[in-house]
Amino acid sequence: MASRLLSFSALVPNVLRRATRPCAGAADASLVSRVRAEDPTAFREMFDRHAPAVWRFLGDLVDDSFADEGLQECFVRAFAGMGQLREDTRLQSWLYGIARNVALEHLRARRRDRPAGARELSLDSDDAQALFPPTDEALSPETLLLGRETEALMTKALARLSDDRRAALLMRVDGGLSYEEIAQAMSWTIPKVKNEIHRARMQLRADLLAMHGGGS
């Protein structure tokens, strides 16, 4: 594992911490063809185009301390699986699907190793009042997430979602994936994607409103 990660270490620049959304569409379709044809420059181009968004997704789904290692493992698996790509594969959703699996494996292992009595992150009202002072403005979880406002509080709120529900919401809100792309990444039906994202948004909104003094 370590030797494989080292081979990708040079591909993880600090710019990943300023992640932006990748371009897609026709450019990705062309890139898939080149990857399938084993073009020697295609994999590096795929990394440069999609790694920032995948890194950010992993950081949000797990935490920043895992993001570098998770990103490297994700692209190790992507490299090994290039031969399975089809012409109609959407690279972004394919990579998000790999990243989701890498993250969930890590989370399961971490929970197995957690000492007895240790708790998951939970919303703390004292922390919330310090990080998220009362305001009359309407709360929007989407706006908070995209704007990176009150990041520590949002991290705690996201941690209360199930792993899969959190992954789907992040793909939609932070990654900008369509419902169809999320369905491909998660191996879900489109109705299930819509339902899970709706439930995630409602749970986030309820948690934030409750902490804000506006919930029941």
127 and 73 housed in the same domain: no
In the chain, DSSP assigns E strands to none
3 vs 72 pLDDT, higher one: 72
pLDDT band at 134 (very low <50, low <70, confident <90, very high): very low
At 122, is the secondary structure helix, strand, or coil? Answer: coil
Q: Tell me how far the alpha carbon of residue 73 is from its chain's centroid.
A: 14
Nearest C-alpha neighbor of 71 from the set 33, 102, 32: 102
Residue 184: φ, ψ to 5°: -65, -45
How far apart (Å, rounded) are the C-alpha atoms in residues 181 and 193?
A: 10
- The total of structural domains in the chain comes to 2
98-119 pLDDT, tens digit per residue, is 999 999 999 999 888 765 544 4
Range of the domain at 14: 1-118
Give the pLDDT score at 2.
35
6 and 109 housed in the same domain: yes
184 and 162 housed in the same domain: yes
Q: Which residue shows structure tokens 């080149």? A: 34
168 vs 89 pLDDT, higher one: 168
Token duo for residue 165 = 């529900």
165 and 77 housed in the same domain: no
